[in-house]
Chain A
């Protein structure tokens, strides 16, 4: 157990409180499970919040069909072991139209297979609250995010029209079709997440640990050749390189970093001396400074 009064225990309590508040005041909550390290921490917190009962809501994974294979294996193993209620949603229209990051570019792919897919899933099941793993330290526009973040009936986020959030009193009221995105990890930092994973012995996808992997270097990014869909361009070759991932997403959009960190201690050590922020490995933020904010307004998490 974490030391009483310790900083992580405070964060843990705050998150548990948020989980319970949602369970008590929404009729159909869901947890967005993205399989990454933050999701793994959320999963543990949700288990603790309702112990000895199981979390009273399902876990939704929006599968873009381009996730790393190890992520999918991990997801299915967790669902089996912890016996939670899992929903996997794929945008079948996108699949039919053959949408993918190589052919359509990262923006179109992310929009159709992730943003639109998420909206489809939320609408289909009529969820009125959805937990997400975003943290305020990740990126500038996230720093302004509420813990209970209101979305209109089109899943839009209006940064100028957010509900004031006072004390621990959350306004959980929504009209028909409207919903709330809930961020239990708002006040956690990347270091907190890693430390918690270590202290609590939380399983994470092995891609976070350094290992020799088949890598293609493209546009300055180190891409893992996870399947045949990554076709080599002239001059490219596959090299076995010692790499790991700081964040996980669609494999063609997620760059690896060269690293020897094959344990949690080593990862944390590496992070403490790192000179680039976490999201840098993700293509999505690169375009221009405000791009994450724009995606959020459109309903990306």
Chain B
């Protein structure tokens, strides 16, 4: 790869390579609205640092003629707009990573798109970046999207920003325009807590103040962009953070070797150190350390290590080895910032898979506190989050996870939520703090338990979950079944959708969120019934596969049986005693959600 610090071949390559080794790497991202000149800026950086090869340049010239927007000049933006669709539409649609180096530093650039609907790509790029370049078009000044980008950068923990006031050539290199934009920026950026925020007037297209200072902006006395990138200090302001070693993989080639593998998230670890296993609180001493395939006496943040302990204690993937005197939180409830990516909105109460770097568990959002309007930064009440929205919520996990506050540790304070059905990465979260409830209220160890209650009744408790359209005959079958069981001396109970709606769930309506909550409560109630040793018959229209699965997961494997009453739609309409199905077929549904359709319900059988 050609670079600015090329030495002619034959000169001391060894020295050159040694110098390469010493360099630090800065990861930054560029964000701006469409046409602010992001791609041109990155193209310019690559071009001026001589990272463009001749064949690429030739291809570029050919393409500029075809798609370019710069007339007869070479369009630098085409160099980085990777995918065909983008080239055709002339927009950047996905985050891309570029690499370049100068004698002082190496750089990894996340090039992220400016579209509103692509917030997720920006968040992706920001999650691993240390600095953000926020582009604005000098002719347009600060836009709503500029605020949005700043907010996301700040939310994702970026502490250093550059405000690149681009296309300064088109406003005659005007200092007044520049100063006005900077003043407006300062006003809202103050709340965002950046450690450094540097504004630079520039022209990406013509190179002013990109890699060297421009004569056209003599009134500007700050650094050029590249100078700033080469020198900015992005080390943590939190001082030396404590040891966090998430266990990723247990390596057990033989009975006398049990190595815990992972990447040290923060702090350091040395042979002989005492460490604590976060989830159990048990401690042990470090017996051996292997990093990158070699025995060593210590390892530090960023190393991929294998650690052996001197005691046989239980540690598996998802646990963490930590400093005894400075431990992380271990809790199953916490408050977090959440960015939503999925087309299916976030619904409180729905069960998702939560993943941290090495751990996974089931999780639900127990409460959506508010949605953040990222243009005004105001907090609005909300019942759900749509794609690209950001909110603050309480999260409850099925089992406790180990974490730090995101503000103090980006590695151990982050998580993503995965949709249980589609496996899509649906959202990303940054933990604020644990909720007290979780750490204070411990589970009661009960002497009389589920088993002893069931034994006394001489039966195996189970939930029989009937689903089907209104009018399909669920309740009739359920009632007959209960009579039969009763006659055989079984202890039973029945939860009927309509009856529960009159009592326990009287406060719920028919929105999607309420339907989810409805099922969740029925699920929890069934679980209590099963714990009481009862055969529990539930008769319910339960349209969402995700919720049925959630209930199934609350119970043991053998305790949940789903029964789908498969009556043809027309027949349901004909005999529906409450007129609900009929109402729907006339387009006036009260109880049937639009998403319910006979063909969809057939999937339910797969669950039995």
Q: Enumerate chain A interface residues (CB-CB to B < 8 A).
A: 1-10, 12-13, 16-17, 20-21, 23-24, 47-54, 136-137, 140-144, 159-160, 162-169, 171, 173-175, 186-187, 189-191, 195, 198, 265-266, 268-277, 280, 289-290, 293-294
Contacts and interface: CB of A to CB of B under 8 A. Distances in A.
B292 interface: yes
B63 interface: yes
Q: With a 10 A CB-CB cut-off, give which of B9, B20, B263 has the most chain A CB atoms.
A: B9
A274 B53 contact: yes
Nearest to B417: A171
Contact of A169 (B13, B261, B414): B414
Nearest to B105: A7
A143 B124 contact: no
B416 A169 contact: yes
B102 to A, nearest CB: 13
Contacts of B93: 160
Contacts of A9: 292, 302-303
Interface string B333-354: 0000000010000000000010
B97 A6 contact: no
B554 interface: no
A159 B124 contact: no
A52 B251 CA distance: 9
B355 A171 contact: yes
Contact of B97 (A4, A186, A195, A198): A186
A174 B423 contact: yes
B23 A137 contact: no
B127 A48 contact: no
Interface string B48-66: 0000011110010001000
B94 interface: yes
Interface centre among A50, A173, A265 (most CB of B within 10 A): A173
A190 B98 CA distance: 13
A25 B246 CA distance: 15
A173 B355 CA distance: 11
B95 A144 contact: yes
B3 interface: yes
A1 B55 contact: no
Interface in B88-109: 93-99, 106, 108
Interface stretch (B77-85, B507-515, B529-537): B77-85
Q: Report the 5 A-B pairs with minimum CB-CB distance, sorted nearest first.
A: A48-B293, A269-B9, A53-B253, A16-B304, A140-B82
B415 A169 contact: yes
B341 A164 contact: yes
B239 interface: no
B356 interface: yes
Contacts of A266: 9
In this complex, the member of B20, B80, B84, B257 whose beta carbon has the largest number of chain A beta carbons within 10 angstroms is: B84
Contact of B1 (A7, A190, A280): A190
Interface residues of B, number: 84
A268 B252 CA distance: 39
Nearest to B424: A163
A13 B303 contact: yes
Contact of A273 (B2, B22, B82): B2
Contacts of A274: 2, 53
Contact of A168 (B55, B263, B292, B424): B263
Contacts of B25: 7, 10
B249 A23 contact: yes
Contacts of B6: 272-273
B300 interface: yes
Contact of B83 (A5, A24, A52, A159): A159
20 contacts: A1-B294, A9-B292, A20-B248, A21-B249, A49-B304, A53-B251, A53-B252, A136-B98, A140-B80, A140-B96, A160-B85, A164-B341, A166-B123, A166-B425, A173-B418, A187-B108, A189-B1, A195-B21, A273-B2, A274-B53
A277 B261 CA distance: 37
A271 B414 contact: no
Given A16-B304, A272-B6, A272-B7, A167 B248 contact: no
Contacts of A169: 355-357, 414-416
A144 B82 contact: yes
B292 A187 contact: no
Contacts of B341: 164
A166 B416 contact: yes
A191 B14 contact: no
A136 B21 contact: no
Contacts of B411: 167-168
Contact of B2 (A140, A163, A272): A272
Interface in B161-216: none
Given A167-B414, A195-B20, A173 B353 contact: yes
Nearest to B423: A173
Given A52-B257, A169-B357, A24 B99 contact: no
B14 A265 contact: yes
A156 B150 CA distance: 35
Contact of B304 (A12, A280, A290): A12
Contact of A171 (B123, B306, B410, B423): B423
Interface string B400-426: 000000000011001110100001110
B292 A12 contact: yes
B131 interface: no
Given A268-B13, A268-B17, A167 B357 contact: yes
Which of A20, A160, A293 has the most CB atoms of chain B within a 10 A radius of its CB? Answer: A20
A276 B7 contact: no
Contacts of B124: 164-166
B94 A160 contact: yes
Given A54-B253, A165-B124, A167-B128, 7 more contacts: A1-B292, A24-B317, A137-B98, A140-B83, A160-B94, A166-B425, A174-B423
A173 B402 CA distance: 21
Contacts of B249: 20-21, 23-24
Interface string B16-37: 1100111111000000000000
A294 to B, nearest CB: 8
